A and B are shown apart, each in its own frame.
Chain A
Amino acid sequence: MIGQEVTFWIVAPLMVLGALGLLFFRKAVYAALSMAFVMVNLAVLYASLNAMFLTFVQIIVYTGAIMMLFLFVLMLVGVDTPDSMVETLKGQKLAAWLAGIGMLGLIVFGIGAALQGGPNVGLDEANAAHGGNVESLAALIFGRYVFAFELTSALLITAAVGAMVLGQHARTRPKPTQRELADARMRDYAESGAHPGSLPNSGVLARHNSIATPALLPDGTISQASVSTTLAERGVIVDAPALSRNTAAVFDAVESGEAEEDDE
């Protein structure tokens, strides 16, 4: 029992700190990580409360599945959108704090007073009834609570189908088939003379062959179609004519050197 108390007094302050992190971290990712910290600590408390099965379910389901789902969604919607601190309702934050503290007082003094001197039996007997915590829980779940357990399967299936329906977005126009794409390319060629084949490769120069290097046309100008428009908009395109001038200068130097050698 002394171990249980030591565990509680180590873990409980950490849990409160982690939970406060949820309130005060401006970035949502930090809030999610402090929430995961609270959940792992809660699993430790479950272990000290003789609930080994729930300890592992807590870690696997909460920290493993639910918090990772939160992190996935955070990454999906963009991690660097900080919480706006503008109050839409004036004085709402202060009112929320007051309401929260009032509720804490209500719970602690109301329920806490009713708890004083309650029973403290311990789970040793209940756990030992069927051989262990997991076995005894199984006897309850598949015995007295089997109907609720069956209903959770309906709930989980509904949730999965609901997530799929919500996650799918309706196309505003039908997906073009390969035939239609080919026809559209040939129509463009007939009407505006756009090349129907694939676009030219990026340039391969002596020192650069990245996708930011435009290809040179026979007259020495660059081919706009050989680089992505996104890169062009960002202005990270390598200046190919300047590079080719460098190469030409090196070639000139080499050739003149050879010429001098020939002279000797």
Chain B
Amino acid sequence: MSPDNYVYLAAILFTIGTIGVMIRRNALVAFMSVELMLNAANLAMVAFALARGGLDGQVATFFVMVVAAAEVVVGLSIIITIYRTRRSTSVDAANLLKL
């Protein structure tokens, strides 16, 4: 099976993630959409690794997962910090820099 279908699936998932970041108000759900985009990129890389016959794509996916884990930890603690002061996880609530 050629990698095309996997790449198309990855493109669809990436697009859904992008739309999720743009339309969801809850910071946690928007953050999950970012995770979906990372996962879509991972899927494309694993599919390419299979097509090219090298494992470098899988190694890259492994590093993306490590970075995603670190990113989630910091991102969630930022959301918690905002929640503590604003009592809300809505991205509209963080508007102190607005004129």
Contact = CB atoms under 8 A, between A and B. Distances in A.
Contact of B4 (A50, A112, A122): A112
A83 B91 CA distance: 10
A247 interface: no
B23 interface: yes
B81 to A, nearest CB: 5
A162 B56 CA distance: 30
B90 A163 contact: no
A250 B19 CA distance: 70
Interface of B: 1-9, 11-20, 22-26, 28-29, 31-33, 35-36, 39, 42-43, 46-47, 49-56, 58-59, 61-63, 65-74, 76-81, 83-84, 88-90, 92
B3 A162 contact: no
B80 A115 contact: no
A194 interface: no
Interface size on A, as a range, is: 35 or more
Given A28-B28, A77-B89, A115-B4, 13 more contacts: A1-B1, A38-B13, A73-B79, A83-B25, A97-B19, A101-B15, A107-B14, A121-B51, A122-B53, A125-B53, A152-B66, A156-B70, A162-B73
Contacts of B89: 77, 81
Contacts of B59: 137, 140-141, 145
Interface of A: 1, 4-5, 8, 12, 15-16, 19-20, 22-23, 28, 31-32, 35, 38-39, 42, 45-46, 49-51, 53-54, 57-58, 61-62, 65-66, 69-70, 73-74, 76-77, 81, 83-84, 88, 92-93, 96-97, 99-101, 103-104, 107-108, 111-112, 115-116, 118-123, 125-127, 133, 136-137, 140-141, 145, 148-149, 152, 155-156, 158-160, 162-163, 166-167, 169
A35 B80 contact: no
Given A155-B67, A159-B70, A83 B26 contact: yes
